[in-house]
Amino acid sequence: MLATWLQALVSGLAIGGVYALIALSFSITFTTTKTLNFSQGEFIGVGAFLGVAVLYLLSGQDEGAALAPGASAGFNYPLAAIAVGAAVGVIGILLFITAVRPFAGKPGMSWVMSTIGFGIILQSIGLAIWGPAPVNLPSPFGDDVIRIAGAGVRPQEILVLVVAIVLMIGLDLLLRRTRMGKAMRAVANNPSVAALMGINVSAVMIGAFALSSALAGIGGLLVAPIASASIFMGLGIALKAFSGAIVGGLDNPRGCIFGGFALGLLEASVALWQAQWREIVIFLLIILVLAIRPQGLFGARTLDKV
Partner 1 sequence: MRSPHQPTRRATLAGAATLLSAPFIFRSAHAAEDIKLGFNGDLSASPSAQSGRAAVVGIQAAMADLAREGGVLGRPLTLTIRDDLSQPPKSIQNMSDLIDNEKVVAVFGPTNSGNALAWKHIPNQKHIPVMGCIGSATDITKGTGGDNYMFRVGSVDRIQVVTLMGYAKKNPRSGKIGFLTETTGYGQGGLKDLQEVAQAQGLTPAANEKFNVNDTDMTSQLSKLKSAGVETALVWAQGTPIGQLMRSMDKIGYFPTVLTSWAADNLSFMNAAGPQLAEKPIFLRTVSETRSPRQQALFDRVRPNIDADSAFSFAVHGYDGTMLLARAIQQAGSTDGAKLREALENLNGSYEGFAKTYDHPFSRTQHDALGAADQRWTCWRDGKLAAYSDDIVASLKPEDFKG
Backbone dihedral region for residue 65 (phi beyond 0: left; psi -120 to 50: alpha; all else: beta): beta
CB of 242 to partner 1, least distance (A): 16
| Residue placing its CB nearer to partner 1 in the complex, 60 or 273 | 273
Q: How far is the CB of 214 from partner 1 (least distance, A)?
A: 23
User: Does residue 136 belong to the site contacting partner 1 (CB under 8 A)?
Assistant: yes
Out of 97, 120, 143, 203, the only residue in the binding site for partner 1 (CB under 8 A) is 143
Supply the DSSP symbol for 299. P
CB of 20 to partner 1, least distance (A): 16
Which residues in 227-256 contact partner 1 (CB under 8 A)? 227-228, 233, 236
Does residue 276 interact with partner 1 by CB under 8 A?
yes
Q: Please, is 271 exposed, middle or buried when counting C-beta atoms within 10 Å of its C-beta (0-12, 13-18, 19+)?
A: middle
Which is closer to partner 1, CB of 15 or CB of 87?
15
Span interacting with partner 1, options 30-38, 140-148, 165-173, 197-205, rule CB under 8 A: 140-148
For partner 1, which residue of 82, 110, 142, 152 counts as binding (CB under 8 A)?
Answer: 152
- In the chain, beta strands by DSSP E: 146-148, 151-153
Return left, alpha or beta for 190; rule: phi > 0 is left, psi -120 to 50 is alpha, else beta.
Answer: beta
Site residue total, partner 1 (CB under 8 A): 32
Helix (H, G, I), strand (E, B) or coil at 153: strand
Q: What's the closest the beta carbon of residue 45 comes to partner 1, in angstroms?
A: 12
Task: Name the site residues for partner 1 (rule: CB under 8 A).
Answer: 1, 3-4, 7-8, 11, 14-15, 66, 132-134, 136, 143, 145, 147, 151-154, 226-228, 233, 236, 268-269, 271-272, 275-276, 278
